Amino acid sequence: MILDVAFSRLDPACRSASGRAVAVIDVIRATTTITMALHQGCAGVMPVRTLSEARAVVRKLGRDVLLAGERGAERAAGCELGNSPAEYGQERVKGKTIVLTTTNGTRTFQAAAGAQTLIACSFLNVSAAARRLAATGLDILIVCAGRHGCFCLEDVVGSGMLIDRVLSVGDRPIECSDAAGAAHQLFATHRADLFGMLRGCGWGREIIQKGFGTDLEICAQVDLTDIVPVMRKGRLVAERA
Amino acid sequence: MILDVAFSRLDPACRSASGRAVAVIDVIRATTTITMALHQGCAGVMPVRTLSEARAVVRKLGRDVLLAGERGAERAAGCELGNSPAEYGQERVKGKTIVLTTTNGTRTFQAAAGAQTLIACSFLNVSAAARRLAATGLDILIVCAGRHGCFCLEDVVGSGMLIDRVLSVGDRPIECSDAAGAAHQLFATHRADLFGMLRGCGWGREIIQKGFGTDLEICAQVDLTDIVPVMRKGRLVAERA
């Protein structure tokens, strides 16, 4: 089994998504928020690229739908929800379909569109995500959301944690690419203080400045749930693993 | 002073090359070979993208010129030199201008073409390269050659070593990007066994299979020289730092 990591949706490693089991990681905050939404009982999350696309999907679906959007960390104009996992409580999202667009995270799902299996991973569900990936028996690609195509430490550390879990549950020989090995090493460097890593990385510092610092406490929770968001016909739905 | 790393020539971080001091790193093997060539007394190295471009430049320059080219690790057809630093002995290169094209390394210089200062760095000259970069007083960008736009461990560890040296010579506050911090950490992970890292990384294993394993012994030599290849009008020439 081959295990590879793309450091952003623009990384050419994404070209190998086809036929693989692919996990998208956007620790701060899209895949944390998606995992939380499904954990709180929402019916499904549809990640879309643009706000106009999101509005069109909401109109088409009609009822029991929430429009969620983020631009520059803030809730986008006209949206009922932003990208803060704290907003996605049970009372708000249970039974609803959420149409979500974010600056980097949701667009990353399109970069991995050829995947055989496509899931969302965050610290919140990392062990369940590893079990779900390993169960496919496929080669694995982890795609970090990154930021405008550039490297984000928190997503790479998240990838390294996911790799750590896959290595511990896998029963077949696993060949790590250079990128996967490096992600695993960076996780080892930061595993003792994940919350400190989230507060110290570039995007974490900006999120704190913008007033979303408490979100990082949610993002740092490891294995809060065994829910794995799995893509089915353009919609991420909850599976337990 | 800002310190950033692009993990390949296709990394969007390259867009910030303009006005910065930029170091290109291709440990296996282009920047090792370029450093070695200048250390052995060659007059200058012109990195070009394609073989046809290289042939045209050689014809234009006329005398005291060597055509050097690599494709798929091997010496390219019709070239007098390949990309093995072992070929670049004094008896072969002294006083000559070398026109060099390689699959990843030489193309990386074009990605950083807007740089205020542009140098080549390898393990062979890492401390001298750090002094040269720090002396500019500019923000620093390190561009890894990578492989077809993807992450190569050896270039990132080389970047981390260069960062380590810049941090030790710099007298101004330095702000590392996430990518620069990660490279520095990966260097710390591998610093005790750089040769083992070169033999174990993806491209290192392929180079060994292709029969160039002894090149890795050359690539692994730290601070063999205080020569820094500096770009002047399309030609990398030797400076001491």
B230 to chain A, closest Cα gap in Å: 27
Angle at B69 between CA B233 and CA B240, to 5 degrees: 45
Structure tokens at B50: 């394609």
Residue range A125-148: mean pLDDT, rounded: 97
* Cα–Cα dist B104/A69, whole Å: 39
| A30 neighbors A166 (Cβ within 8 angstroms) | no
Radius of gyration over alpha carbons of chain B, in Å?
16
Would you call A148 and B177 a contact, using CB atoms and an 8 Å cutoff?
Answer: no
Residues of chain B positioned with their CB less than 8 A from the CB of A149: 11-12
Q: Name residues whose C-beta falls within 8 Å of residue A164's C-beta, 6 or more positions apart in sequence.
A: A184, A187, A188
Interchain proximity B185–A181, CB inside 8 Å: no
DSSP at B87: G
Those residues whose C-beta lies under 8 Å from the C-beta of residue B219, and which sit 6 or more positions away, are: B27, B28, B29, B32, B85, B122, B123, B124, B154, B198
Per-residue pLDDT at A99 exceeds 80: yes
Position A95 pLDDT exceeds 90: yes
Alpha carbon distances (Å) from B152 to A112, A134, B105, B124, B232: 21, 25, 12, 18, 28
Q: Which residue of B has its CA nearest to A181?
A: B153
Nearest chain B alpha carbon to A148: B12
B178 contacts A201? CB cut-off 8 A = yes
Q: pLDDT for A14-52, tens place per residue?
A: 999 999 999 999 999 999 999 999 999 999 999 999 999
CB A213 within 8 A of CB A184: no
The pTM (predicted TM-score) of the whole model is 0.96
CB contact under 8 A, B151 and A12: no
- What average pLDDT does chain B have? 96
How far apart (Å, rounded) are the C-alpha atoms in residues A129 and A122?
Answer: 8
Name the nearest CA neighbour of B27 among B215, B181, B176.
Answer: B215
d(CA A38, CA A237): 7
CATH assignment, A2-236: 3.90.1560.10
- C-alpha B202/C-alpha B156 separation (Å) is 13
pLDDT at B131: 97
List the single residue in A with minimal CA-CA distance to B156.
A182
Mean predicted confidence (pLDDT) in A77-101: 96
Where are chain B's structural domains? 2-233
Percent of chain A with pLDDT over 90: 95
Report the chain B residue with the minimal C-alpha distance to residue A10.
B11
Task: Assign a CATH topology to domain B2-233.
Answer: putative 2-phosphosulfolactate phosphatase (3.90.1560)
pLDDT of residue B164: 97
**With pLDDT > 90 as the criterion, what percentage of chain B qualifies?**
95
Local structure of B223: helix, strand or coil: coil
Arithmetic mean of pLDDT, A212-237:
97
Write down the pLDDT at residue B113: 83
Q: Measuring CA to CA, which residue among B134, B140, B58 is closest to residue B99?
A: B58
Flag whether pLDDT at A170 surpasses 90: no
- Residues belonging to chain A with any Cβ–Cβ distance to chain B shorter than 8 Å: 5, 7-8, 10-13, 148-153, 156, 177-179, 181-182, 185-186, 189, 201-203
Query: Residue B31 pLDDT more than 80?
Result: yes
| Packing angle, helices B153-169 and B126-136, rounded to 10 | 60
Residue A86 in tokens: 């704290």
In angstroms, the separation between the Cα of residue A201 and the nearest Cα of chain B is: 6
What's the pLDDT at B160?
A: 98
Instruction: Assess: ipTM above 0.90.
Output: yes
Q: How many residues does chain B have?
A: 241
Summary mean pLDDT of chain A: 96
Q: What integer pLDDT is reported at residue A113 of this predicted model?
A: 83
Which of A10, A225, A202, A33 has its CA nearest to residue A125? A225
B206-220 CB burial, b ≥16 within 10 A, e <16: ebbeeebeebbebbb
Q: What are the residues whose beta carbons fall under 8 Å from the beta carbon of B62, sequence distance 6 or more? A: none
- Tell me the per-residue pLDDT of B96-122, one tens digit each, with 9 for 90 and over: 999 999 999 899 999 998 999 999 999
Give the pLDDT mean for B65-86. Answer: 95
pLDDT in tens, B158-214: 999 999 999 998 778 999 999 999 999 999 999 999 999 999 999 999 999 999 999
